[in-house]
Every structure is written in structure tokens, then in C-alpha cells.
A and B are shown apart, each in its own frame.
Chain A
């Protein structure tokens, strides 16, 4: 195993250095980001190419994490969230992200909303029975709603007290970004799989023509991902609430909140995994499905994608 050295300036969150393992033409790179183990599998490359690719992947992922996290003081998201109703001009990358958020808001019939994060002030999903008061969630709902902010590219005006959060997009976006960039920079014929904590994408089959075999986490046996899937192209992403819920009077409240009511989506599945051409699309379809609650399967059926839904 080899450590890849990345300068502190490119590692603002002070993650451990990426590790490269492998031999011959097959290499596996690992690092941490976005609260997940990140894995880059490369076939058909030399050691030097693998090192360079891993270095690029870690730096780029850490850059995206730093830029889109809502916990980093002074980053563009933080500047918007602390803008106190004043217009903020954003760069092209963030503009694309905001355009996407706007479309997702529309397409999900206002269920997917990057301003819904403030509802977490009322909800603590700690396995207890402490539900918030309806009045508390109603108060917070006044700070929720993509339609309440003003987005005129490149200027965003967020009303006082509201917040945005790219938590539902960032990781899948990073997976796609890394696959697309590495697919361009590595020699033709390279096989590549990028896996960030179970959200993953590949650039085609393995170099021997076989499918990649990936484990899908079963929420009932968290440590042991026994179920496997074959992937010859495209991406998989999972949306779920494995450990985060409340139970009161026998009713389970999952952590998927409906921004239109301020309450958990009733009868949301424990997890939804979707296969799609890109990880971002797979993730968004999985999230949309969760937000459909009891109709998650029906929604996915209509999209004609491969999916796996887990309910208890």
C-alpha cells in the first residue's frame, strides 16, 4: 500500500492521505470524503497513471466537499446562508447546481427542496419518541420553500433565516464528476469504477469484459452487504434512513421530511437503490421515490429503471 501525498492547501478538512493498492494494470485507490469511504477502482492503467488519477480524484472530491458543504465557514454555501437577505453572486459551478435544484423542485412537485434543511432544528432522529410540536414545524415551514427565494443567474437572494443545503446532491455529483474527468484523462480502454459510500458509477464493463460486482447494503444487516449486483455500465445510488428515525405510539417516523408539511413522509421505504446512466440521476430518482412514500415503487415502475426498495 502506498500513501499519496497531497499538499495541506488541497486538503482543507485534513483527511488522511489517499492510499493506493494493487499491482500490474489493476489498482485500487481509497480516501475519505463527505463522511464516506471513497474508492476508485482502475483497470488497464500503469502505477504512475493510477497514482496521478487518485491524486486528482482526492483533490477534486475534497474541493467539492469544501465548496458545497454547509459546515464550512466562509464557503459559497455559508456566504449565501449568512447573507441576511442580501443578493449574492455565485460562480458557474454553483449556478449549475442551483439551476438543477430549481428543476428538481419543480419536477418533484415541490417535494425535493434544498431549503428544507431548517426543519432539522425541530427534528432529532435519535430513535426516541420525542416528536416536535406541530406549531414548531409550522413556524419553521415559513423558512422553507425554493419558491420563496429569488434566483436570477448569477445572483441569488435568500430571505433572512432561510438556508440552502446541497446534501442531497453533492456526493452523487462528485462521483459523476470524477468518473467523467478520469475517463477523459486516462488512456482509452481503461475501466473505472468510483464508489463513494455505496453511491457509485463506472465507465463500462471491466477490462476482461465482465461486469463489476458491487454489494448493496441491506438495512437489516448493516455490517454485511451480502446482496450483490452486476454493473456493466452506468451508476447506482441509494437513498435511505438506515438508522435515523423516531417511534411514537407504534408509528415509525423516518428522517425523510416532506418540505410541504414539515413532517416525515408517511410510509417512506427504508431505502431505495436505483440504477441509471449517471449517479446524480440515480440518486435523485431514489430521493424522489423516497419522497413518494407508499407510492415509491409505483413511481419507480413508471420511470422504467432498475430499482431495489427495502421496507421492513
Chain B
């Protein structure tokens, strides 16, 4: 309760009365109750371990989030996340029946991928630290606002954002309308500079170092920025004592450098002969790989619908569906189902998620010799990043949570994801390679809230 002077008699009533009441009851102002009470920090800690199969990305992510409650439903939340990623990720190049040598993103050094192996860039290693803070408070009985800021840093990436939202309560708080806006600016500063889109990757073989250096430098431009604007409109509706429903519509617009500076495409030989379907060999005697290039704007729309239903026995069913469409030509559908099974002092929550996406208009598993057009590509945008391709993912998991007491909860979550890509199988020699290997990954998360 905030101390506000009653206009009529000029006396602060609420706080003085609260103090008097505490004296009567012989309690401290904050001793009455537990969570969400003013003057206490509620802390959530978690450690997430993510691991893709086949020596691909491994990540460890500790998170600490603390919320401080103040009088009058005001809240401050601070969150710190650290990520450590190691391992290799698909570079975008196609496998080949010959060993392939690629230049590292920094330009210093090369790595070789064995014949028939999926080209993975093993120089992938990163540490990210993200901090965010938000402040939520009621404006009056019917409105609540929230403002926040976000910043994260990786060695080649700096991300910043500010956001705000306003919620309006209607029908005795049975309906909540929320509008939110987020503005972000990211600075991309890739190791060795950002490559020029669709320029040819410089390779060392058959060259002296100075020649290579000159070629490499010609493919570089300086760091770049991207801006992001996100707007969200949501309705949360209490249907009855057991059912809660939420609808969101979000629109997101990003512009600037949206390309992944570490992703490349192979150029495939179309000429009839022994190398039909193999890597195109350039004038320097090396295969031709191009750095990818994406459009410099992207507009996304998403619709989200969630329903939570509580059963007689206290179990909770939670289902959601998300539809996303963007002007890159990607549409996606996500279905997420959870069932919280209430046990004595704990709960068990099985989880299933299904994800399906169509490919971006400019997604290509490889470029052909004619599209490469001897260095003057006939396409202005192309990417072989599997995340922009046609893919289907299924996640199975479960969470077990144990309530130590009214304030403290310990939980463990384990999930397994199977994701498969699909698309054009190529021609000639390419058809003997698996162009779309599955990605299997598992998560393990341990969390403790107090």
C-alpha cells in the first residue's frame, strides 16, 4: 500500500493503518505471508545442458533470475544468463566424395572435412552473457505497465533492446488486454569481418600467402548492424474457474544485416562428365564455395493460442498452437502439449511438441554452376542454412518438480528432440550423399526456486 494523502483530511491512511494493524496482531509488516509479498526476493536458478548428437553443438546455460516485490504489486526482475557453446555446426556446404578444405571464418587457418562427411564448422565456440531487467507496476486499478531493457554480448555480437507493455484489466480482471513493443539494435562484428554476400570463399591451396590474403580481404566488409521492432497484442481470458485462454498476435520487423556470416553454399558442377554433381572447380583449381546472403529485411507475423484447463483432481492440461508466417516465405506451425500430473508434494509433467516449417524462398541446399554464372550469380539471395529449410521436429520430454515448502521448488526437466530436414536431393554425384542429416538433441535442466 502506498502512502497517499487523503485529499479530504490530509492524513495518510493506508500505511498508518497497516502499521497499526501489525501492532495489534503482533506481526512484522512482512511476516504474514510468503511469495509475492513485498520486501522479499524470489529467486529462480537453473542450469540447462543442451547436447546435439554427432559432436555437434553442446551448450551449458546457467540462469539466475531474481524478482523483488514492492508494496502495491510493483515488481523488479533481474535476470542473468550465461551460455557456453562448443562443437561444430553445419556450414551449409554439401558433402563430397573428396575431402574438402575450408578457410576458417577468421581467415587464419583452414580445416578439412573427410570425404562423404557432412561439412561442419568446428571453429564454433562461443560464450554469451545476457542481462535483462524489467519493472512492472500498476498505473491504477485497471492498468499495469512494464518497462525493461536487455543486453547481451558474445565475442562477435552485441545485442541491445528496450521494451514496454501496457495491460488493461476488464470484467473484474477476468479479461486482460496487453499491448507491447520492443525495439532492438544488434551489432554484428564477425571474426575477420563480415563476408560480402555471395562472394567466393578464398582458399589457400595452390597459392602463396600474400595472394590468399589479398583474395580474402576482397571478400570482407566491416561490421554491420541490424534493428528489430517487435509488437505484440494479447488477450488473456478467464473462461471459468478451471479454464484460462490466451490469444496473441505478434508482428516483428527486422532490417539490416540478417545474414549468417559463417554460413556458405557449395557450387555444384552441372557439366556432363565425371564430375557431374560434384563441387565445381574454379580457375585456381579449388572448389567454389560462396558466402550466403539473405534479404536485408524480414517481416514476421505470428498467432498464438493457449488454453490451460484444471481438472477436478488438480491436474493441469496445457495446450498451445502457434502459427508464424514471414515474407521470406517461411510458414511454421507449432503444437505444444503438457499435462501436469499432481502428486503428493510434487508433480510430473510430460511434454510433447511438434514443429513444422516450410523453406524460405531463397533457401537452396547448393548453387548450380549456372546460378554461379562464373562469379556473377544469377540469384541475389541464397542460403543453405538448414534452419531456413523445410523441417519437422518432435520433442518428447518430462519435468518433475518437487515442492520443498511453500517457497522452494526443485525441478528437473529432460527432453529429447528429433528434427529432420527435407528438400531437393540434387543430381549426379550429389545424390549419393545425405544432404539432410537429422539433428537429434537432448536437454537436461535442473532448476531451483526459492
Query: Which of B27, B404, B406 is within 8 Å of A205, CB to CB?
Result: B406
Q: Say yes or no: is A135 at the interface (Cβ < 8 Å to chain B).
A: no
Residues of B within 8 A of A301 (CB): 140-141
Taking a contact as CB atoms under 8 Å apart, the answer to whether A227 and B6 are in contact is no
When the two chains form their complex, are residues B32 and A302 in contact, meaning their CB atoms are under 8 A apart? Answer: no
User: B25: which of A208, A227, A280, A308 is its contact (CB, 8 Å)?
Assistant: A280
Task: From known contacts A100-B20, A107-B20, A232-B35, infer whether A278 and B13 are also in contact, taking CB-CB under 8 Å.
Answer: no
B31: nearest chain-A partner, CB-CB: A180
In-complex Cβ contact of A277 among B33, B310, B347 (8 A): B33
Alpha-carbon distance A177/B26, docked complex (angstroms): 10
Q: How far is the CA of A207 from the CA of B347 in the complex (A)?
A: 11
Contact of A103 among B8, B20, B25, B140 (CB under 8 A): B20
With contacts A189-B403, A204-B33, A301-B140 taken as known, whether A109 is within 8 angstroms of B24 at the C-beta atoms is: no
Residues on B facing A (Cβ under 8 Å)? 1-2, 4, 6, 8-9, 11, 13-14, 16-18, 20-27, 29, 32-37, 71-72, 138, 140-141, 172, 241, 310, 314, 342, 344-345, 347, 403-406, 409
Assembled-state Cα–Cα distance A207/B401 (Å): 13
Q: List A276-304 residues whose CB lies under 8 Å from chain B.
A: 276-278, 280-281, 284-285, 288, 295, 299, 301-304
A-B contact pairs, 27 of them (CB 8 A): A25-B344, A99-B23, A100-B21, A103-B17, A104-B20, A109-B8, A109-B9, A176-B25, A180-B32, A188-B406, A189-B345, A189-B406, A203-B33, A205-B406, A209-B403, A209-B409, A210-B310, A234-B33, A276-B18, A277-B37, A281-B17, A301-B140, A302-B4, A303-B1, A303-B4, A304-B138, A308-B172
Asked if B14 and A303 make an inter-chain contact with CB atoms under 8 angstroms apart, the answer reads: yes
Instruction: Report which residue of B1, B23, B172, B241 has the largest number of chain A beta carbons within 10 angstroms of its beta carbon.
Output: B1
In angstroms, Cα B404 to Cα A205, docked, is 14
Q: Are A104 and B314 in contact, with the CB atoms below 8 A?
A: no
B1→A284 contact, CB < 8 A: no
Complex: A280 Cα to B20 Cα, angstroms: 10
Contact A208 B32 (CB under 8 A): no
Query: Which A residues are CB-close (under 8 A) to B13?
Result: 107-108, 288, 299, 302-303
Separation in Å of the B61 CB from the closest CB of chain A? Answer: 25
* Chain A residues with CB under 8 A of B16: 103, 107
Residue ID in chain A nearest B346 by CB atoms? A208
A191 x B406 contact (CB < 8 A): yes
Look across to chain A and name the residue whose beta carbon is closest to the beta carbon of B18.
A281
- The 8 Å CB contact of A304, one of B36, B72, B347, B403, is B72
Task: Please state if B11 and A107 are interface contacts (CB–CB under 8 Å).
Answer: yes
Interchain CB contact under 8 A, B347 and A208: yes
Chain A 180-192 near chain B by CB (<8 Å), digits 1 or 0: 1000000011010
Query: Does A213 sit at the interface, judged by CB under 8 A?
Result: yes
Known A109-B8, A204-B33, A277-B32: A100·B14 in contact at CB below 8 Å? no
On whether the beta carbons of A305 and B24 are closer than 8 Å, the reply is no
Compute how far the CA of A173 lies from the CA of B345 in the bound complex, rounded to whole angstroms.
Answer: 32
| Closest partner residue, chain B, to A303 (CB atom) | B14
B35 CB contact (under 8 Å) in A44, A97, A210, A233: A233
5 closest residue pairs by CB, A with B: A204-B34, A189-B405, A303-B14, A109-B9, A103-B20
Q: A32 → chain B, closest Cβ, in Å?
A: 24
Bound form: Cα–Cα A249–B161 in Å: 64
User: A261 in the interface, Cβ–Cβ < 8 Å?
Assistant: no
Q: How far is the CB of A61 from chain B (nearest CB, A)?
A: 15
Neighbouring B residues of A173 by C-beta, 8 Å: 24-25
On chain A, the residues within 8 Å of B172 by CB distance are: 227, 308
Chain B residue, CB-CB nearest to A301: B141
Judge whether A13 is part of the interface by a CB distance below 8 angstroms. no
Which residues of A lie under 8 Å from residue B72 when comparing CB positions? Answer: 304
In A34-49, the 8 Å CB interface with B consists of: 44
Our pick among B1, B34, B37 for the contact of A305 (Cβ within 8 Å) is B1
Total contacts A to B, CB within 8 angstroms? 129
A96 within 8 A of B: yes
Instruction: Check A304/B1 contact, CB under 8 A, given A232-B36, A233-B37.
Output: yes
A285 to B1, CA, bound (A): 11
Is B6 in contact with A281, judged by CB distance below 8 angstroms?
no
* Given A100-B23, A233-B34, A233-B36, A304 and B2 contact (CB-CB distance below 8 Å): yes
Residue among B29, B72, B141 with max Cβ neighbours from chain A (10 Å): B141
User: Nearest residue in A to B407 (C-beta to C-beta)?
Assistant: A204
In the complex, residue of chain B having the shortest beta-carbon distance to the beta carbon of A281:
B21
Given contact pairs A203-B34, A204-B34, A234-B33, A210 touches B17 in the complex (Cβ within 8 A): no
Which residues between 194 and 215 of chain A lie within 8 Å of chain B, taking CB atoms?
A: 202-205, 207-210, 213
What is the distance, in angstroms, from B41's C-beta to the closest C-beta of chain A? 16
Most chain A CB within 10 A, of B13, B24, B37, is at: B24
Verify if A5 is at the interface (C-beta below 8 Å from B).
no
Any B CB within 8 A of the CB of A228: yes
From A208, A227, A299, B342 is in contact (CB under 8 Å) with: A208
Q: A204-B34, A232-B36 are in contact. Are A107 and B25 (CB under 8 A)?
A: no
Chain B residue at smallest Cβ distance from A169: B24
Q: Are B27 and A180 within 8 A (Cβ)? A: yes
> Nearest-CB distance from A193 to chain B (Å)?
12
Q: Separation in Å of the B341 CB from the closest CB of chain A? A: 11
Which residues on A sit within 8 Å (CB–CB) of B138? Answer: 304
| B314 touches which of A100, A108, A176, A210 (Cβ 8 Å) | A210
Q: What residues on B are CB-neighbors of A213 within 8 Å?
A: 241
Distance in angstroms from A300 CB to nearest chain B CB is 8
Residues of A within 8 A of B406 (CB): 188-189, 191, 203-205, 207
Q: Using CB atoms, name the residue of chain A closest to B34.
A: A204
Contact of B17 among A207, A284, A307 (CB under 8 A): A284
Interface hits, A218-260 → B, CB 8 Å: 227-228, 232-234
Asked if A207 contacts B4 (CB within 8 A), the reply is no
Q: What residues of A have a CB within 8 angstroms of the CB of B9 in the complex?
A: 109
Q: Which residues of B contact A207 (CB under 8 A)?
A: 345, 403, 406
Known contacts A207-B406, A233-B37, A277-B29; can you find 8 more A-B pairs with CB under 8 A? A25-B344, A177-B25, A189-B403, A207-B345, A213-B241, A284-B17, A302-B6, A304-B72
Q: Residue of A at shortest CB range from B313?
A: A208
Quote the shortest CB–CB distance from B69 to chain A (angstroms). 10
